A and B are shown apart, each in its own frame.
Chain A
Amino acid sequence: MAGSKTIRVLIAKPGLDGHDRGAKVIARALRDSGMEVIYTGLRQTPEQIVETAIQEDVQVIGLSILSGAHNFLFPRVMELLREKNAEDILVIGGGVIPEEDIPGLKEAGIKEVFTPGTPTSEIINFIKANVKV
């Protein structure tokens, strides 16, 4: 008998940036849409994020950065996921991210980048459409 399948999401703040308003609002919105959300807190290294994602067996990692360090930190997370054979995890990003950086991030494996002003419902729909549980 198959029971309920709940989407598990890791919301992570890589780097040193302490602005977590967005991360927290998203975490709550995802919870309210029926997902289980693991929030890492601030100042996580890419290594910690990937290890947490594996131990928690999440289907989605949401990375939030407002400091401008995304071009280094996002690809680093992807690299480590590949090293651990965990590239099946859907990775999305958000924060203050210039349009022109987005193609590069997508090339690195980030599935979608959500910039300020994105409704949480759009993120929820994206996750639901792209995660197979």
Chain B
Amino acid sequence: MYDKESLSKLSEHKQNWEKNVLNKVLNKKPERKEKFFTGSNIEINGVYTGLDIQELDYSKDLGFPGEYPYTRGVYPTMYRGRLWTMRQYAGFGTAEESNKRYKYLLSQGQTGLSVAFDLPTQIGYDSDHPLSRGEVGKVGVAIDSLKDMEILFEGIPLDKVSTSMTINAPAAILLAMYIAIAEKQGITPDKLSGTIQNDILKEYIARGTYIFPPEQSMRLITDIFEFCSEHMPKWNTISISGYHIREAGATAVQEVAFTLANGIAYVEAAIKAGLSVDDFAPRLSFFFNAHNDLFEEVAKFRAARRLWAKIMKERFKAQDPKSMMLRFHTQTAGSTLTAQQPDNNIVRVTIQALAAVLGGTQSLHTNSRDEALALPSEDSVRIALRTQQIIAHESGVADTIDPLAGSYYVEFLTNTIEQKAKEYIDKIETLGGAPKAIEKGYIQQEIQNSAYSYQMEVEQGKRIVVGVNKFKIEEDPPKGLLKVDPSVGKLQEEKIKQLKATRDNLQVSKALQELKKCAETDKNLMPPIIKCVRAYCTLGEICDALRAVFGEYKAPINL
């Protein structure tokens, strides 16, 4: 973007400034720290100029919004056309209670649903399984069969809302249930829009709700890709998630690198399964974290978009521009919230949400101030949603596209993050790709090292966390936290008992038998799974049928 002459002038000017202005001050009073770093350990200079982004070529590296390599955004009008989807992740207790919370959120101006499932559901156990004890309804809603799903979406028109479901190992089953309840509302699958998380690799890396071994899990995923490319053109078949990788302690650079490395693995698996890239790639979506380091975060989103576009175009030879667009959901960083002085979290969330919006997110969840203490209360969820609405309607940041483009610092960071992420991806390639690197524990180890050094920096006071290691106060325990009724477990157990007594059990065992048979072949698993859910097989029964054929995954632990 700069010609040689102006660069050399600039360089001369900078040297003069350093000598005559800066050093005079520094000699009298040094800076706060000897060196400054971003969260990803990128060293930060005092001031940035065109000298730091000499190589930047506007058309090649940035382009216009909606134009390759999509650095400035995936759509030509971005938030001037339509604001991002405000989507609060919610769900707890029974389907009845969660249904109420969804209707409340929709009435408050939320534009999409995001379903949180409890852990037994996420790991494919029914509420009456011994391992489910104490967990039913705790971190999300308990779904044991289509019956619960019918209640969960009762009175919500599925052709009008888009629904995101945080479900991975049993994603195919929950998707099948969603299809089945839509059917009952008279809505065909092609009208449904939404997302299933369906990202098993990051479960092995960071989140832990895996069931089956990698190979079989990848098959389930590519079966979903194939099924949706035929029947559900508006459905996001996967949400390749850096969020949990970051929560586990990764830096911004690692978040981009490991997420895209997983993305590459999914694309490769789908191609290997015989799909052509432009048939499924447009429905891939991503999910990132937004932390406090504002500029680094904005740069991270921009770098991720540019890097993915290049990977899809150059490596996988995608033709359809939609295959190259990295569309993503963002959630603010749960791990940055503090149990101390919880109201401070509102401010943290504001900065993080701002980063996501300046970074061009497609949808956003803002965390509630009390999440380091318990599940969010209704008041806290409302403030979190209002935070988004204030950014959208009052701050003015949504009125022009990619407003930080051209900032010497942000462009420098964007370049640096892209380059460092690329180095990680190359390293993962030499290990044989993401699944192999996970099996070797390499990715987990890298994340743990970051998590540990972060913790040590906080403890040594090298990193300030307000209210935690500085600016502390004596405070009373917070009040009004949400409590999940411990009787949910009993209630769900009752429901299962009743279901098993009233459904057509012959149909059930036939459907399960058919599923097992299919699992032994390489035929698409979606049709027999849909058959199972329609017959009111429980989630646990369906997963057990698959466990019998696929086996279960055991995690390697490297510390």
B-contacting residues of A (Cβ < 8 Å)? 15-21, 24-25, 27-29, 31, 39, 41-43, 45, 67-69, 71-73, 76, 96, 98-100, 115-117, 119-121
Contacts and interface: CB of A to CB of B under 8 A. Distances in A.
Contacts of B249: 21, 25
A117 B339 contact: yes
Given A21-B249, A28-B559, A72 B134 contact: yes
A100 B557 CA distance: 33
B549 interface: no
B478 A99 contact: yes
Interface stretch (B37-45, B95-103, B452-460, B513-521): B452-460
A76 B122 CA distance: 23
Contact of A18 (B209, B340, B372): B209
B468 A98 contact: no
Contact of B139 (A31, A67, A73): A67
B249 to A, nearest CB: 5
A45 B129 CA distance: 12
A103 B490 CA distance: 25
Contact of A98 (B134, B138, B374, B458): B374
A116 B458 contact: no
B339 A115 contact: yes
* Chain B interface, DSSP helix/strand/loop, else mixed: loop
A28 B453 CA distance: 11
Contacts, number: 108
Interface of B: 119-120, 122-123, 125, 130-135, 138-139, 203, 207-209, 247-249, 335, 337-340, 371-375, 448, 451-452, 455, 458-459, 465, 468-469, 477-478, 481, 484, 486, 555, 557, 559
Interface centre among B122, B138, B371, B557 (most CB of A within 10 A): B138
A116 B372 contact: yes
Contacts of B477: 98-100
Nearest to B475: A99
Contacts of B555: 41-42
Given A17-B119, A28-B559, A67 B340 contact: no
Contact of B559 (A39, A42, A72): A39
A60 B341 CA distance: 31
* Chain A interface, DSSP helix/strand/loop, else mixed: loop
Contacts of A96: 371-374
12 contacts: A19-B247, A21-B249, A39-B559, A41-B555, A42-B555, A43-B123, A67-B119, A67-B139, A68-B139, A72-B134, A99-B478, A115-B372
Contacts of A121: 459
Given A15-B134, A71-B134, A117-B339, 7 more contacts: A16-B119, A16-B122, A18-B209, A39-B557, A45-B131, A69-B134, A116-B338
Contact of A25 (B340, B373, B451, B469): B451
Contacts of A116: 337-339, 372
B452 A100 contact: no
B131 A43 contact: yes
Contacts of B132: 16
B120 A16 contact: yes
Contacts of A100: 477, 481
Contacts of B125: 16
A21 B248 contact: yes
